[in-house]
Structure 1
C-alpha cells in the first residue's frame, strides 16, 4: 500500500519518506484529520474521507491498488471514529 499511496501523492515529500505500514497509517490519519490546515478552515472528517476516496477512484492506480487504498482509508476512519 505504501507504493500505491506514493503514486497517489507524487508531489508530497512526506509521502516519499514513508517506509512502514505504521508511517502510512499515521500520514493517512493526519490527512483525514486535516491536521495540516489551519483550524478555522479545516474540513470535517467525512469531507476529507470523501475527497480522498474520490482522488483514489479518479487516479491511474490499478483496480487492486484502488480497492486496497479505499479499504485502508475506511478502516483507519472507522478505527479513529471509534476512538482507537
Structure 2
C-alpha cells in the first residue's frame, strides 16, 4: 500500500518518508481534511475523496492497487 501511495504522489516530500501503515493512514487523513491548504480555500472531505478516486483511477497502478487504495480511502473517510 505504501509503495502504491508513493507512486500516486511521487513529488510530495512527506510521502517519500512514509514507512508504516499508520503513517500512511495519517497522511491520507491529512489529505482528505485538506490540512495543507489555507483554511479559506479548503475543499470538503467529499470533494477531496472524489479527487483522490479520480487520481487513483487515472494512475498507472495495477487494478488491485487501485482497489486497495480506494478501500483504504473509504475506510479513513468514514472515521
* TM-score category of the 2 structures, normalised to the smaller one: over 0.9
Aligned to 1:29: 29
| Aligned-residue RMSD, C-alpha | 0.4
TM-score w.r.t. structure 1 length?
0.93
DSSP 3-state at the match of 2:60? coil
Match in the other structure for 1:39: 39
Name the count of aligned residue pairs.
Answer: 79
Q: Any idea what the Cα deviations from partners look like across 1:28-81, whole Å, max 9, x if unmatched?
A: 0000000000000000100000000000000000000000000000000011xx
Whether 2:20 is the aligned partner of 1:14: answer: no
| Structure 1 runs, 4 residues or longer, greater than 4 Å off | none
Report the Cα distance in structure 1 between the residues aligned to 2:32 and 2:7, rounded to whole angstroms: 18
Alignment partner, residue 53 of structure 1:
53
Measured in 2, the distance between the counterparts of 1:13 and 1:38 equals 19
Instruction: Specify every segment of 5 or more residues in structure 1 that has no aligned partner in the other structure, as ranges.
Output: 80-84
Q: TM-score, normalised by structure 2?
A: 0.99
